[in-house]
Chains A and B, each alone.
Chain A
Amino acid sequence: ETGVTQSPTHLIKTRGQQVTLRCSSQSGHNTVSWYQQALGQGPQFIFQYYREEENGRGNFPPRFSGLQFPNYSSELNVNALELDDSALYLCASSLGVGDTEAFFGQGTRLTVV
């Protein structure tokens, strides 16, 4: 158990819809990163939040957006869902931006039909 919890665990959405995924960081961690892991692939970095500000972004379109709250929990929002958005979405929290150890949640499995 890493102390990082994600909800929901599974989700089915229709193409064109919007989805919000949630992540609760490990206690004391102020940095959260989100990843997309397609089937048979490694995780791809979406973005990172540090103290409520976006602090880095991977190669994802603007319809992927996020928020971090004062308690350092975080949301990932995806608008206008496409079939290719079907994946496992992972969040990871760490003590700081340069911290060497990030703790991952179990992930949310999103299926877009």
Chain B
Amino acid sequence: GEDVEQSLFLSVREGDSSVINCTYTDSSSTYLYWYKQEPGAGLQLLTYIFSNMDMKQDQRLTVLLNKKDKHLSLRIADTQTGDSAIYFCAEITQSRTGGSYIPTFGRGTSLIVHP
């Protein structure tokens, strides 16, 4: 079965880089996502990476994928207090019938940015 693991908390100083890690178990994942959730809000898609890629960069965000180890990371450069939120990693796998894509989310990493 699918399982996505994340560390629960990360605390960084403003201006530093944050690295949030995630491991997954399903090697047939088609793509992997990072979402951000602020208090009382829904999920905001930050970025995603196809499973055949190693790295993706999008402004302050860098996603690294190690498919052999089933390890995904999200690096946020120059972290700001506005980046404080819960970050979810999710893997997407295609259903057995092939008709749908099923997401599995981790429990989320709470990022705290202090001045």
Using CB atoms and an 8 Å cutoff, list the residues of chain A in contact with chain B: 2, 4, 33, 40-45, 48, 50, 55-56, 58, 90, 92, 97-98, 100-107
The answer to whether the Cβ of B42 comes within 8 Å of any Cβ in the partner chain is: yes
Q: CB within 8 A of B101: which of A97, A101, A103?
A: A97
In the complex, what residue of chain B is closest to A59 when comparing beta carbons? B1
Chain A nearest CB: distance from B107 CB in Å?
5
Question: Distance in Å from the Cβ of B22 to the closest Cβ of chain A?
Answer: 11
Contact B42 A97, beta carbon cutoff 8 Å: no
* Chain B interface main SS type: strand
- Chain B residues packing against A (C-beta within 8 Å): 4, 31, 40-45, 48, 88, 90, 95, 99-108
Evaluate contact between B45 and A97: CB separation under 8 angstroms: no
Residues of A near B90 (CB, < 8 A) are 42
B100 lies within 8 A of A56 (CB): yes
Give the chain B neighbours of A92 by CB distance below 8 A: 42-43
A50 to chain B, nearest CB (A): 7
In the bound assembly, the distance between CA atoms of A36 and B28 in angstroms comes to 24
Bound complex: CA of A104 vs CA of B98, how far in Å? 23
B43 to chain A, nearest CB (A): 4
Query: Does A42 contact B45, Cβ atoms closer than 8 Å?
Result: no
Q: State in angstroms the CA–CA spacing of A56 and B88 once bound together.
A: 22
Expressed in whole angstroms, the minimum distance between the Cβ of B41 and any Cβ of chain A is 6
B42 contact set on A, CB distance < 8 A: 2, 4, 90, 92, 104-107
Q: Find A44's partner among B44, B95, B100, B105 (CB 8 Å cutoff).
A: B105
Q: Is the CB of B88 within 8 A of A42?
A: yes
The residue on B at minimum CB distance from A55 is B100
Across the interface, do A42 and B4 meet the contact criterion of CB distance under 8 Å? Answer: yes
Q: Which of A50, A101, A104 contacts B100 (CB 8 A)?
A: A50
15 new A-B contacts at CB < 8 Å, known A43-B103, A92-B42, A104-B45? A2-B42, A42-B4, A42-B88, A42-B107, A43-B105, A48-B100, A56-B102, A90-B43, A92-B43, A97-B99, A97-B100, A102-B45, A103-B45, A106-B40, A106-B42
Chain A residues with CB under 8 Å of B100's CB are 48, 50, 55-56, 97
